[in-house]
Structure 1
């Protein structure tokens, strides 16, 4: 069994086909027996007829090894019917020998190769012709071959039918196993795509949060250089340095998330707010309990993206983060007030909100995003995520 991304992919093994060597050996033995026992063989009369019919029957018997793609069902019925008359004719022409074995094996092959109705008809024809030959007393060794031979020549068709049913069961089992393998591969691919999407969200969050902040501070420092306000330039560059350090911390968080390590939610949120310049902005309510690792990772990413958006679209505005522990769920709300400084036009991937919705959907939670219309933060923005805990 092969494994891919934690999903076992069964390996289908083709069941062994019927032992072709034994089949060829059986046919060769029948042909050899007929060549050594069927008599008379000559150049006139019944002996000539037997000499012609014997190789013809050997050819008909050898044709049972032809695959179905070479000899389809309709031609196979014609072949078996002609072979039945050829066997009866050989038994009529020869006075001794094992020509009747051709009839047994052809009847058995009819049951293996054909559907039930045509197989039964062919077997009845073979058995009827064999019995008729013995009945009219012109068959080989009437005193030595019991009547039961003629009456039971068609019975091997039952063995052929059983073998055909077994073969069809093997084919069905093989097809079912192949279908299972295809389904497992599709599931593995789905898991792979989901994993890629998760990594893409994490990489986006880290880059958007750190690089957007650094870009804004550098643009601010560049604008302040023209005014000659070196003190504010130094402040901006210090802030950029701080954001670079924060981006390193974010990279560590990303590695933890990709490895599915559990991070301390409260400590991580506090460090995130402090590095963004929003001190004492975290409010925790409810009884703190154990939170699943997946919920912690995604809540941190939602908070990170919300702070990035607040810094980009509402620079200087106050930010409040609330963490509410409820029975069976946990709610994270990030609210920012309106901007107090000029908004710098920057680039945005547009994937932040999409990523947050995907994260909440994976956790089977809810996400509410929209402007704040009342209170001290009116004119700002609010992101509220509720996920199972």
Structure 2
């Protein structure tokens, strides 16, 4: 930033200072609520009020004796002034700025009484310091211990509740009022003014620091929540893209078959009519166009990921026929797997075959990562209206290594099941293991209802 710009900015800040102080110090608001911008322990204000009231009662008694008898204000005014200061010490928890103003005003109102009780400088010089020592020594107002304790408590709690600039403005006003009152009463008897102002400054700084720390923690929590939501959303989109890439091959196969069959139809009919040829050609053309669009969409989806090997890109999608090979690979990796198949094998749609295989594959991978040494049971049940796959493992034989990154396993299972209109149940078992059960219909539902985005599971 150039020097000229810095000067202009400083001038703007100085011009705006009166308006800023007016906005900060002439408000009756209760301050932030719900832990925003203040330490969380201030949410327990009813509990904090109890010890604060006890401290206020002690200061009330001390200041009443000071104002009523030593300053000669009388019992009534002494109780009134001391009570207002003690009440401000408690009320600052609920109405910080008005309570602070009350303590400042009381300081000004007590000053005339303190001025008559404190010897003037010429009298002090004439009689000497010895005449004003011991119990007869006058109080140094407003820097006597009880008044400083009230002001420090009010400033500390005020700084916890308001913005830093408001706390700084309140400290400046308090210091100016205190110095003016001290000069009016007995400037020569005020050697403790510097240390008293230091106490007020430390109290304000501590309150501001605690408030800033609370605000930082609040922002951090909010940012972590937003990050977690964004991560869950990104994980969901990545899983859906992966499922779309896999199902593309299935759909593309069917579209290719439709295109070829449409070309063959005219050759299977004797003397096909022009209308038949036109309709069949339309079917073939639409199938080719759809296949082209599918390839274009697949290119967009795959362009977001690192390019896999060419053989992997064009490999056929697996089905339940490759389940034995998958289980064999898991056993080679050290997993004790037992597999059972029930029911009569029926033809399933390619999407159901692929999803069932992927669910078993993901469940076995989860068992390897999160349940080392635990035996796993894989069940495939063929039913008249679909297929049921279940993968169950017992409690792990040894602690699992810490997971790296966020898991996609259960999220992908739920997405595949919801896409086909099936049902998925996954969760821990009473013996400490984990169970995944998916029921997939033989044919996808016409319009399956997609559930709400599931939360990420550590598995």
User: TM-score category by the smaller chain?
Assistant: 0.3 to 0.5
TM-score (norm 1): 0.45
User: Could you state the TM-score of these two structures normalised by the residue count of structure 2?
Assistant: 0.39
Structure (1 or 2) with the larger CA radius of gyration? 1
